[in-house]
Amino acid sequence: MKREDKAEVVQELSAKFAKAKLAVLTDYRGMTVSSLQDLRGQLRGIAAEIKVAKNTLLRRAIQGTPFEPLNEQLQGNTALTLTELDPVAPAKVLVKFAKDNPKLVIKSAVLDGKLLNAEDLVSLSKLPGINELRAQLLGLMLAVPTGFVRVLNGVPQKAVYLLQAIKDQKEQATN
């Protein structure tokens, strides 16, 4: 690889690190190309991407970023997963994929400047994603007005029941 190509790769990775919220390092040794392509497709569907680059280029790219704690983990075959949006979704995909494909080993991750180990990433994957949290919030926001409407509707409804009971009582008294 020429020096210009390496500089271009470092610059591209640095730009991705500048925007990323989550970076996950995995060891992909022994995986087939088709399974790696399958993982790429799953990650692409949730606005994340997996890159394979030389460790020296990754070290240069993370210098001066919140992802510097990953420096110690850059050994052996390393695949890097980055996301700019929801950090839970890629964690879920990687943990599930690693469970189904034991050759993919999660080394570590950095979320908003904090170093996470593989167990921390598993814990992160168990959290609800951003869309699930939005749905829960919307449900809570709708529950309050719905309950209020039911309470307001209960007063006239009880009045109707009372009038119906009085009518039934008078009909029985006349019979």
Q: Rounded to two decimals, what is the model's pTM?
A: 0.70
Note the pLDDT of residue 111. Answer: 87
If one counts every other C-beta atom within 10 angstroms of the C-beta of residue 73, the result is 19
124, 87 Cβ separation under 8 angstroms: yes
If one counts every other C-beta atom within 10 angstroms of the C-beta of residue 89, the result is 22
- pLDDT per residue of the chain (175 residues) written in tens, 0 to 9: 788 888 888 888 888 888 888 899 998 888 888 888 998 898 888 888 988 888 888 888 888 888 888 888 888 888 889 988 888 888 889 999 989 888 888 888 988 888 888 888 888 888 887 778 788 888 888 887 877 778 777 778 888 888 888 888 888 888 7
Q: How far is CA 159 from CA 45, 149, 163, 168, 171, in A?
A: 55, 16, 6, 14, 18
Q: Report the C-alpha gap between 2 and 43 in whole angstroms.
A: 30
How many residues are listed for the chain in this entry?
175
Q: Is 20 exposed, middle or buried (0-12, 13-18, 19+ CB in 10 A)?
A: buried
What the block records as the tokens of 13 is 């990775």
